[in-house]
A and B are shown apart, each in its own frame.
Chain A
Amino acid sequence: MKTCLIVDDSSVIRKVARRILEGLEFEILEAEDGEQALDACRRQLPEAILLDWNMPKMDGYEFLRSLRRLPGGDAPRVVFCTTENDVAQIARALHAGANEYIMKPFDKDIVEAKFQEVGLI
């Protein structure tokens, strides 16, 4: 079973995402911000990360840049999941090493399509 780390400061979003991803056979870890997420990744790198952009402490963009510098940190497939939906923002995320990008609001079809796109399912 693959592991997915869900990083979002909203417990509601984490719950919705958890339900969808458990349905897609992922084991779920959760983090409320970039710092917590980075700690989790230092302990154990997940196969997948669903990542919010705007969060207190460390935002998704900063987290991603730090993650990619960790040993083995280029392995996890990172899918942004955010309300940011400008072309420039998306391009910035891709440049920082995001593999896919979901614009909120999302549903199961979108998550499934995007996870398929990056070879997670």
Chain B
Amino acid sequence: MTPQDFDYLRKLLRDRSGLVLSAEKQYLAESRLLPVARRHGLGTLADLVAKLKTPVPALANEVVEAMTTNETFFFRDKIPFDHVRDTIMPALIAARAREKRIRIWCTAASTGQEPYSLSMVLTNFRAQLSGYRVDILATDLSGEVLERAKTGIYSQFEVQRGLPIQLLVKYFNKVGESWQIAQDMRDMVQFRPLNLLNDFSPLGMFDLVFCRNVLIYFDQPTKTAVLNRLVRQMPDDGYLVLGAAETVVGLTDAFKPIHDKRGLYEPNRDARASFAIADIGSRFAAKR
């Protein structure tokens, strides 16, 4: 691949998904994109790039999807799910006693293990949640992984990484050599394609946001911008959960870490107040 072609692909990925591909990742682009090229009857990556330039949006989507890393597993990192069970849900159930509505969003749900882990945690609260409406929205850039997620079908290997055996027996059915999560768990989750670079304000407000292992692929300004837009979808008493290798520190003061709860953040009220003032200020400036 020529440096020009590689640069074209890097820019395309960055513009469309936020994914930053470093210069030494050319081998990764080659191994993942050659199969895409072949599927379209194109022999080389140069041919693929030429075709992309015509332009073909559907092909560009396929290229982006091929370059995403979809690795995930049930109860990944465990601790965040303990936080949900021990801290977040008890607090939200109490705080939403009047509205009786709790909304949860998995922003990079991949093949569904994360939202389904949440739905299994929520079953611990069946009694307290009676009369409540709880929504779990699971979105991802890739439509392909979401289609898999919707089926709720996992390989024997996938159900053995992170899923305690008691939960496998309780919530899964064996389908041939695979395992399918029960219908009532699937009914708790709604899947929808969504690119975090696009406007997501129409989705409304969320009490709990899981945004794990996706910001790591973005550059700093993109991380900051996504976090600053996320906070607008959350009430002051909402919770944000990031991945083990991610933080808000040094990126934005829209969120602040919750003391002693690793990976857990809350909207920063003080910063929000100053945002609002800046907002009013800029509107005044615009009027004058």
Q: Which residues of A contact B (CB under 8 A)?
A: 85-87, 90-91, 94, 98, 100-103, 106-107, 109-110, 113-114, 117
Contact = CB atoms under 8 A, between A and B. Distances in A.
- Those 6 A-B pairs whose CB atoms lie nearest each other, nearest first: A101-B165, A110-B160, A113-B161, A100-B165, A103-B156, A90-B169
Given A90-B168, A94-B166, A85 B174 contact: yes
Given A85-B156, A103-B156, A109 B161 contact: yes
A87 B172 CA distance: 9
Contacts of A101: 165
A102 B169 contact: no
A18 B179 CA distance: 28
Contacts of A106: 160
Contacts of A100: 164-165
Contact of B160 (A91, A94, A113): A113
Contacts of A86: 174
Contact of B157 (A90, A98, A110, A117): A110
B162 interface: yes
Most buried by A among B160, B161, B165, B168: B165
Interface residues of B, number: 13
Contacts of A110: 157, 160-161
B191 to A, nearest CB: 25
Contacts of B172: 87
B161 A91 contact: no
A117 B166 CA distance: 11
Interface string B148-174: 000000001100111011101100111
B160 A103 contact: yes
B258 to A, nearest CB: 24
B157 A94 contact: no
Nearest to B168: A90
A103 B162 CA distance: 14
Contact of A102 (B160, B164, B173): B160
Contacts of A113: 160-162
B160 A90 contact: no
B165 A94 contact: yes
Interface in B53-77: none
Contacts of A102: 160
Given A85-B174, A100-B165, 14 more contacts: A87-B169, A87-B172, A87-B173, A87-B174, A90-B165, A90-B169, A101-B165, A103-B156, A103-B160, A106-B160, A110-B157, A113-B160, A113-B161, A114-B165
17 contacts: A85-B174, A86-B174, A87-B169, A90-B165, A91-B169, A94-B165, A94-B166, A100-B164, A101-B165, A102-B160, A103-B160, A106-B160, A109-B161, A110-B157, A113-B161, A113-B162, A117-B164
Nearest to A80: B165
Nearest to B166: A94
